[in-house]
Chain A
Amino acid sequence: MKDDILRKAAILQRDGETYAIMVPLLGGVMDIRTARRIAAVGEAYGVKTLKITGAQRLALMGIKEEDIDAVYDALGSEPHQGTALCQQYVKVCPGNTFCTRGQRDTITFAQKLSERFHPFPKITAKVKIGVAGCYNSCVEPAIKDIGLIGLPKGWIVMVGGAGGKDPMLGEVIARNQTDDQVLEMMDAILKYYRGVSLRPQTRNLRLGVILEKQGLEQFLKALGLHEAA
C-alpha cells in the first residue's frame, strides 16, 4: 500500500498511484525563467495538470513515485520536510512591491522569515503563516497560526488562527512592530510552539487550541511579552 512520502514532501493522490509535489516558490512569485523551467519539467515528466493551491503554492500533479527525485532535481530544488500536506507554509500577498494598496514590503519580509524559519523543525502540528500588506488581508492572516498585517506604522501580529475543523480567529498580540521585532517575536513563538508540540498532552494541537487552554496571559509571559495589544 502506498502512502504519502513525507520525507520527500510528496502527497499520494486519490488514484493510489501518483503523487503531487509542490514547487518551492516564495510567496508564489516567479520570474519568467523559473516559470519556463517548471513548464519544461512538467512536460518531461508527463504532468498533466498544475494546481495553484489555496496556499498560493504550485502543485505538480500526477508524478510517478520513481520520478519524484528527478523532478526535484530538474526543478533545481530539494524537498522540504514538513511542507507536504500544507503542514507548514508562508502565504504572502504582493505587498507594496506590486500592489497599490500595499503598505509594507511583504515579499522582502517573507524572504527573511523563510530563510530563518521555514520549514521550522520538529513541530508536528501545522504552522501556517500569512503575511498581508494591508487590512484587506488577501492571504487571510486571521486564520493562520501566525498572521501579520502590514500598516504604515508597522506590523500587527496575530496568533492562533485556524480555518479548518476547529476554526479560530487569531488574537492580536502586538501592533506597530518593525521587521526585526516581528522576527524576534516569531522566534519566541515558534520555539514555544515546538516545546508544547513535543509534550504528550499538547502534541499535534494547533497553536490556537494551546492558547485557549493556557490562556493568552500565560502565553505572552512565556514569550516575554507582558502587554497584550
Chain B
Amino acid sequence: MKADIIEDKGAILQSDNKTYAIAPHIPGGFVDVSTFKRLVDVAERYGASALKLTSGQRIAIIGISEEDLDPIWKDLEMSIGYAIGLCVRMVKFCPGTTYCRHGKQDAMGLGLKLDKLYHGYRLPAKFKIGVAGCEYGCTAPLVKEVGLRGKPEGWTLTVGGTCGAKPRFGDVIAEGLTDADAEAAVARVIRFFEAGEGGKKVRLGRVIDKMGLDAFKKAVSS
C-alpha cells in the first residue's frame, strides 16, 4: 500500500495508486516564462503524464513515481506547494491594482506578504486565504477561512468561509482596513486559531458557529 500523501515531499497519491502529483509553490499563480519552461522541462524528464492548473493557482505535475520525488524537487529548484495537510493551504490572490483595471487595492502586494508569512503554516485544520482586489472576488475570498476584498476605502475582512459539503460564507469582521491593518488582523485570527480551541480538523467556520460571532470578534479584537 502506498501512502496517500507524503507530506514532506508535497506528494499526493493519484488514482492509479502508483504515481504521485506534486505542486510547486507559485505565489498567486504568477510565474515567469523561464520558470514555466524549466518546470515543463523537468516534468518531461520525469515522465509526467499531465500538468494541471489547480484551484489553488498552482501547476500540478502529475504521474511522478515515488523514487523520483527527491530528484524532481531538486531539479525544479522550487519550494513545495502545501496542497495537503493541516496548514495554510494557499494564499490565493488576483492581479489587483498591479495589472487589473478593476483592482481597488493592491492584492498582489498584500497577497505576497501573507503568502510569505503563512503559506504552509501549521494549524489545527485546513486553512485557506483569499485576497481579491475588488468585490468581484475572483479568488473567491468569501469561501476562504480568511478572505480580503478590496474596496476603494480599504480591505474588508471575512472569516470562516468554506465551500465543501456544508458551504458557508465568511462573516465580515472588519472593513476599511489599510494593508498594515489587514495584515495585523489576519495575524490575530491565525494566532487565535492556532491555539486550537476548536480541536483538530475543525475548520474556522465551525469554530465560529460554535462560539458565536460576537465572542469570536472579541477574541481576535486585540
Which residues of A are in contact with B by a Cβ distance under 8 Å? 12-15, 20, 25, 27-32, 35-36, 38-39, 42-43, 47-58, 61, 86, 91, 93-94, 96-100, 102, 135-143, 163-165, 167, 169
B26 interface contact, C-beta 8 A: yes
Residue of A32, A49, A54, A102 near B138 (CB, 8 A) is: A54
**Nearest CB of B to A206, in Å:** 12
Chain A nearest CB: distance from B215 CB in Å?
A: 24
B79 CB within 8 Å of chain A: no
- A35, A50, A96, A138: the one contacting B55 at CB < 8 Å is A138
Question: Are B163 and A137 in contact, CB atoms less than 8 angstroms apart?
Answer: yes
Q: Which residues of A contact B62 (CB under 8 A)?
A: 94, 98
Asked if B195 is at the interface (CB within 8 A of a chain A CB), the reply is: no
User: Given the interface contacts A48-B33, A167-B142, does A56 sit within 8 Å of B99 by beta carbon?
Assistant: no
**Contact flags (1/0) for B136-165 with A, using CB distance below 8 Å?**
111110110000000000000000000111
**In the complex, what distance in Å separates the CA atom of A36 from the CA atom of B36?**
9
From known contacts A51-B29, A52-B31, A140-B143, infer whether A94 and B101 are also in contact, taking CB-CB under 8 Å.
no
Q: Which residues of A contact B99 (CB under 8 A)?
A: 13-15, 20, 61
Q: A42 to B35: give the CA distance in the assembly, Å.
A: 12
- Contact assessment for A49 and B31 in the assembled complex, using a CB-CB cutoff below 8 Å: yes
State whether A137 touches B167 (Cβ < 8 A).
yes
Query: B52, A98: Cβ atoms under 8 Å?
Result: yes
Q: Which residues of B contact A50 (CB under 8 A)?
A: 30-33, 36
Residues of B with C-beta under 8 A to A165: 135-137
Cβ contact within 8 Å between A32 and B44: yes
* Contact in complex: A35, B40 (CB < 8 Å): yes
Q: B120 in the interface, Cβ–Cβ < 8 Å?
A: no
Which residues 21-38 in B have Cβ within 8 Å of A in the complex? 21, 26, 28-33, 36-37
* B163 and A99 form a contact (CB under 8 A): no
Task: Give CA–CA (A94, B54) in the complex, Å.
Answer: 9
Whether, in the assembled complex, B4 has its beta carbon less than 8 Å from a beta carbon of chain A, the answer is yes
Contacts of A32 in B (CB 8 A): 40, 43-44, 48, 51
Residues on B with C-beta less than 8 A from A96 are 15
Q: Which B-chain residue is minimally distant from A27 (CB atoms)?
A: B52
Contact residue among B14, B101, B137, B143 (Cβ-Cβ distance under 8 Å from A98)? B14
Answer yes or no: B98 CB below 8 A from chain A CBs. Answer: yes
If A30-B52, A31-B50 are given as contacts, then 18 extra A-B residue pairs at C-beta distance below 8 Å, sorted by A number, are: A13-B100, A27-B52, A28-B53, A31-B51, A32-B40, A35-B43, A50-B30, A50-B32, A50-B36, A52-B29, A52-B53, A94-B62, A98-B21, A136-B164, A139-B55, A140-B163, A143-B167, A167-B137
